[in-house]
Amino acid sequence: MVDPFLHAHNVGPFHFDIGGVISPISIKDQMVRGQMIVDRAVEVGLIDQRYHLLVIGAGAAGVTAAIHASQTRNIPTTLVEMATAPFSRQRGCTSRWIDPTQYEWPLNHCYESRYPWDGPPVPLPWSRAFANILARVWMQKKLTRLPGLTVRFNTSVAGHNVIPNGSAVYVQFTSGRPGLYGAIISCIGFGAERCTVNQYSGFRFWDADDFEKPNLGLPPQEKPTVLISGGGDGALQDFLRIVTREPLQGAYDKSPRDIYESLKDFARPLPGNSNDELEVCRNDKRGKEVLLKWAEVENNLQSAEDQAQRAYIWGNKKDHDCKVQKKLHCAYVAAVDRLYEIWDEGGILNGIKARLKGWVRRPLPESVHLVYPCDHFSKCYGLNHLLVLLFAKHLEEEGNKAVHLRPGLEVLNVGPANMALHICAHKPAQCYGVDHEVSFRLRTTCNRSPGRESAREVFNVAIIRHGVNPPPGASIQFPRQIIPYFVSS
């Protein structure tokens, strides 16, 4: 019988792909895929002591696959990487704090913040940290010294053919000797991010940026006016990073998980805080009620996410996704309203508002505009979804005029506001802090053809998070998946 996991990723004879447009595609998802694909290839006898494994790409997925195959499954393995070192996405990124489980909120394991928290050991274990620190920790594995693993940097695949007896594949490389392999696992990542509009390019997601520095890293006399374009996780994460206060020195303390937990903590009674026993009792009872109702909201969202996921998997065009995402978005808007009701009924609304206020950056940038092309966000994690809507509501209720969610808008062009002073040349650092004129057009739904130019506005920080262009070449047939949260023993 055909192995379903191999079948889903099979893109040619002996050739499997675990990158490209695949989803979900967090680092942890990719590690799970890397391990699973090796296990299944061993189980069906594709790779063994005679038929070796070739892994292409030394990111989190490829390195996991290569170590797992060579060290745990004892399969002689070659890993080729076109860059000079592994983990090129995360290696230079000093500004992204990543967490293996927080985006699996509100599932039980979402506060584990480590991988693995269940199942057998994995090749690259990790806990929440800055991306570059993680890459450094993973690099301590010293890939080039592991027995049974041959690593070639600055190398890619030049071509491959199945040998005449059909038992293996002959692979030529851009440098070094060709070889014979029982399977090729392609782990070349998600491709190129779309951060460019005409001549303008903003920082990529995995670039180091200054968004969380005081005044967004701009000189004190310059007031940041921020455009964030996109409704997916990249845009929502940056919205939260910019709208919330700067991290405290020393340790990062403001991940979405930290923010959400601090709100929940407010409902948890702290008996030591009062001298009056009766008061403690009352708070305790009230806190428990609030937490029970709060859990109901989380359950409803989990249910809405599950329904959306099931529908999303079979979607094929924007129209399909639009309906799914619209319904899901409504569930999040309703959840935020319900939370406000619960906090109010439980007598903790003012306290929660004070906590939210404490999280808001002081001073806020002159303006922050999150624009997205329909009346809902696009595919994004639940925790980002909820927190962005929560901060938007909080700021609106506080009468804040700086932060705006602007649905139904698409960015048409970004160019210098004063062409005599600046030209855009796809150099994000040179454009950062410089006034750019942005033109928009209206969009009423995801699939209806957009209208004409509707407005022009000036921003000195423009963050473009328009998704990704998958890498060229073979891509798998069914890229939308449900993937296990961890590898089973």
Ligand X SMILES: Cc1cc2nc3c(=O)[nH]c(=O)nc-3n(C[C@H](O)[C@H](O)[C@H](O)COP(=O)(O)OP(=O)(O)OC[C@H]3O[C@@H](n4cnc5c(N)ncnc54)[C@H](O)[C@@H]3O)c2cc1C
CA distance 258 to 264: 10
Of 123, 103, 101, 132, nearest to 31 by C-alpha is 123
Name 228's bridge partners: 370, 463
Q: Which stretch binds ligand X (CB under 6 A): 58-66, 263-271, 351-359, 361-369?
A: 58-66
User: Measured from the CB atom, is 66 or 226 closer to ligand X?
Assistant: 66
In the complex with ligand X, the residue whose CB is nearer, 61 or 328, is 61
Determine contact, residues 100/124, Cβ cutoff 8 Å: no
Query: C-beta of 366: minimal distance to ligand X in Å?
Result: 25
Residue 171 or 243: which CB sits closer to ligand X? 171
What is the x/- site pattern for ligand X, positions 452-471, by CB under 6 A? -------------x--x---
Question: Two tokens at 377?
Answer: 């966000």
Question: Which residue, 221, 198, 224, is CA-closest to 210?
Answer: 224
Q: Does 56 bind ligand X (CB under 6 A)?
A: yes
126 binds ligand X (CB under 6 A): no
Q: What residues from 240 to 259 belong to the interface with ligand X (CB under 6 A)?
A: none
DSSP per residue over 453-475, as a string?
EEEEEEESEEEE---EEPPSS--
Examine residue 139 and tell whether it contacts ligand X (CB under 6 A). no
Q: Which of 189, 231, 269, 287 lies at the binding interface for ligand X (CB under 6 A)?
A: 189
Residue among 183, 186, 184, 158 at smallest CA distance from 173: 158
CB of 114 to ligand X, least distance (A): 13
Check: CB of residue 207 under 8 Å from CB of residue 431. no
The residue (of 5 and 294) whose beta carbon lies closer to ligand X is 5
Binding mask 198-227 for ligand X (x = CB under 6 A): -------x----------------------
- Taking CB under 6 A as the rule, does residue 234 contact ligand X? yes
In the list 127, 156, 307, 447, the residue contacting ligand X (rule: CB under 6 A) is 156
With binding defined as CB under 6 A, does residue 486 bind ligand X? no
Instruction: Tell me which of 98, 168, 342, 390 binds ligand X, using CB under 6 A.
Output: 98
The secondary element (H helix, E strand) that includes residue 29 is helix 27-43
**Both ends of the chain: CA-CA distance in Å?**
22
For ligand X (CB under 6 A), the number of binding residues is 31
Angstrom distance (rounded) from CA 100 to CA 117: 10
Q: Which residues of 161-171 are buried (b: 16+ CB within 10 A; e: fewer)?
A: eeeeeeebbeb
Q: Minimum Å distance from CB 72 to ligand X?
A: 18
- How far apart, in whole angstroms, are the C-alpha atoms of residue 252 and residue 132? 14
Closest among 488, 489, 483 to 61, alpha carbons compared? 483
User: Shortest Cβ distance from residue 66 to ligand X (Å)?
Assistant: 11
Q: Which stretch binds ligand X (CB under 6 A): 163-171, 189-197, 266-274, 369-377?
A: 189-197
Interface residues with ligand X (CB under 6 A)? 19, 25-28, 30, 56-62, 80-83, 88-89, 98, 156, 187-190, 193, 205, 233-234, 465, 468
